[in-house]
């Protein structure tokens, strides 16, 4: 079953992204929202882990939350797709289930 | 598709109530059905009509009430969580001997069964919280 996972906290505040990446199965997707968008940027301590996981899991990031934090799309790790709220809704319909890592 | 939304965080705390609102709005605009929005834990604080945020800030509470009116949404507040946090409707205020109620238009107080029902009835249950 392909699942959409959402992570809403920075990896430097909580370990939910780490837990999520350890549980997410190949073919599933991780959407970074709210403070979770920090993990989508280049040059952080978690960049390596995210890149490694991108091999079998698709990564998305919520554009409005990036913009609200002054993080330009040019700062994103290559291969992470930006979605808006409509895209968020579409992702929830495209995958079989949604797991929010809170 | 039929969506259930769960909100576990109060307004103006982090961003969960905002994200839940924008998600719900986008889902409605895309033609999906919102079966119910269930407010649990500190999320029940979204349901007090006595919030008075600064005029240049978004009014999270009013925004929910307006969306509910426009789309005939079922906004349900968990009764046990509401009682702990002082969210009362007219009946509850009377029952608990309080001098007034504060529930906002469009919200109703009910039990956890409403969340379980949403979980059963909906194609997706999307949770927003802290």
Residue B97 is part of a domain; what is its CATH number? Answer: 3.40.1260.10
Report the percentage of chain B scoring pLDDT > 70: 100
Residue A1 pLDDT: 77
Question: A97 forms bridges with which residues in the sheet?
Answer: A3
pTM of the model: 0.97
With CA atoms as reference, report the closest residue to B22 among B124, B121, B122, B126: B126
Domain range list for chain A: 3-101
> Mutation test of the interface with chain B: which of A32, A69, A92, A99, choosing the one with the most B Cβ atoms within 10 A?
A92
B12 touches chain A (CB under 8 A): no
B90 touches chain A (CB under 8 A): no
Distance CA B59, CA B66 (A): 10
A83 touches chain B (CB under 8 A): no
What integer is the mean pLDDT of B30-34? 98
Domain count, chain B: 1
Model pLDDT for residues B80-115, shown as the tens digit of each residue: 999 999 999 999 999 999 999 999 999 999 999 999
Whether the CB-CB separation of B17 and B7 falls below 8 Å is answered with yes
Q: Which domain holds residue B38?
A: 2-128
A69 touches chain B (CB under 8 A): no
- Partner-chain contact A88 B29, CB within 8 Å: no
- Partner-chain contact B19 A8, CB within 8 Å: yes
Note which residues in 40-69 of chain B have CB less than 8 A from chain A.
Answer: none
Question: A99 forms bridges with which residues in the sheet?
Answer: A5
Model pLDDT for residues B52-76, shown as the tens digit of each residue: 999 999 999 999 999 999 999 999 9
The C-alpha angle with vertex A10 and arms to A47 and B15, in degrees rounded to 5, equals 140
DSSP string, A31-96: EE-GGGGGGGBTTSTTHHHHHHHTTTSEEEEEHHHHHHTT--GGGBPTTPEEE-HHHHHHHHHHSS
- Partner-chain contact A93 B128, CB within 8 Å: no
Distance CA B90, CA B103 (A): 8
CATH number of A3-101, picked from 3.40.605.10, 3.40.1260.10, 3.20.20.70, 1.10.10.10: 3.40.1260.10
Whether the CB-CB separation of B67 and B24 falls below 8 Å is answered with yes
Tokens of B121: 């009835």
Residue A53 pLDDT: 98
Q: Which residues of chain A have pLDDT under 50?
A: none
Question: B39 forms bridges with which residues in the sheet?
Answer: B7, B77
């Amino acid at each position: 079953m392909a699942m959409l996972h959402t992570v809403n906290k920075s990896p430097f505040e909580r370990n939910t992204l780490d837990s999520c990446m350890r549980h997410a199965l190949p073919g599933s997707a991780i959407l970074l929202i709210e403070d979770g968008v920090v993990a989508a940027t280049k040059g952080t301590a978690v960049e390596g882990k995210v890149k490694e996981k991108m091999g079998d899991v698709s990564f998305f990031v919520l554009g409005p939350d990036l913009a609200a934090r002054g993080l330009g799309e040019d700062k994103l790790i290559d291969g992470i797709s930006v979605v808006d709220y409509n895209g968020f809704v579409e992702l929830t319909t495209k995958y079989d289930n949604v797991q929010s890592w809170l | 598709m039929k969506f259930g939304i769960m909100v576990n965080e109060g307004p103006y705390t982090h961003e969960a109530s905002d994200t839940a609102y924008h998600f719900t709005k986008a889902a409605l605009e895309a033609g999906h059905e919102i079966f119910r929005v269930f407010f649990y834990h500190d999320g029940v604080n979204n349901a007090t009509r006595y919030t008075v945020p600064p005029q240049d800030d978004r009014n999270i509470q009013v925004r929910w009430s307006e969306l509910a009116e426009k789309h005939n949404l079922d906004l349900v507040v968990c009764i046990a969580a509401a009682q702990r946090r002082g969210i009362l409707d007219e009946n509850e205020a009377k029952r608990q001997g309080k001098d007034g109620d504060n529930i906002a238009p469009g919200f109703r107080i009910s039990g956890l069964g409403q969340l379980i029902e949403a979980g059963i009835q909906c194609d997706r249950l999307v949770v927003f919280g802290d």
